[in-house]
Structure 1
Amino acid sequence: MPHLSVYVLETDLVGRENELIEALTDAIVAVYGDWARDIAVVHLIGLPASRWGIGGRPAQAPSPSVTFGIKEAAFGRPDADDIVARLVSGVTEAVVAVFGERVRSGVTVELVGTPAGRTGIGGVVDSR
């Protein structure tokens, strides 16, 4: 299942939660198809400004950062480069649609592959 964790300043996030969840879910569906809508998971993590640092100092207006958990097998597909490009672009566009152009240049999308058998759901290892 696609699993996104979004790190964003709490002050930027307040009041935009539903809009961001919907936009990110739509970005996933645009790549995978409508079947993915019901299994897409989005975690929003709002951080106080004093808890986000860049270069050894508190960050000044950092752009959101997205960690996108994906099955490692997706990277071995013949169309993997296209999938990666579409996910990075779509997620970035979703974030920009919610927070504005000022964040675009700093939005980070990290796709993290999970090998088969390294995820558990409900106390059972998912070997897919």
Structure 2
Amino acid sequence: MPHLIVYASEPDLAGREADVISALTDAVVGVYGEWAREIAVVQLVGIPAGRWGIGGRPAEAPAPRVTFGIKDAAFARPDAGDIVAGLVNGVTEALVGVFGERVRAGTTVELVGTPAGRSGVGGEVVLT
């Protein structure tokens, strides 16, 4: 299942949570198809002002950082390059749509592949 963890400035997130979740879910659906809507997970982590540093000092307006967990097998597909590009672009565009153009240049999307048998749901190991 696609699992996105978004780290963003708490002041940026406040009041926009539903918009961020909706936009990111739509981005996932744009790459995978409508079937992914019901299984896409988005978690928002708001970082209080003064607790995000860049260059050795507190950042004034940091761009969001996204860790996007997907099945490792996606990277072995013949269309892996298109999937990666679509997810990185779609997630970035979704965040720009909510937070504004100022976040584009600094938004980071990290795709993390989980091999089969290395995760579990409901107490059971996921083998696919």
Alpha-carbon distance in 2 for matches of 1:116, 1:55: 37
Scaled by the length of structure 1, the TM-score of the pair is: 0.98
What amino acid does structure 2 have at the position aligned with 1:90?
A: G
1:103 maps to what in 2?
A: 103
What amino acid does structure 1 have at the position aligned with 2:75?
A: F
Deviations 1:49-97 (Å, cap 9, x if unpaired)? 2211112221121000110000000000000000000000000000000
Equivalent position SS for 1:50: coil
Name the count of aligned residue pairs: 128
Of 49-58 and 78-87, more deviation after overlay is shown by 49-58
Alpha-carbon distance in 1 for matches of 2:56, 2:127: 40
1:2 maps to what in 2?
A: 2
2:80 maps to what in 1?
A: 80
Structure 2 unaligned spans of 5+ = none
Structure 1 runs, 4 residues or longer, greater than 4 Å off: none
What amino acid does structure 1 have at the position aligned with 2:123?
A: G
Q: Name the % identity.
A: 73
What amino acid does structure 2 have at the position aligned with 1:65?
A: R
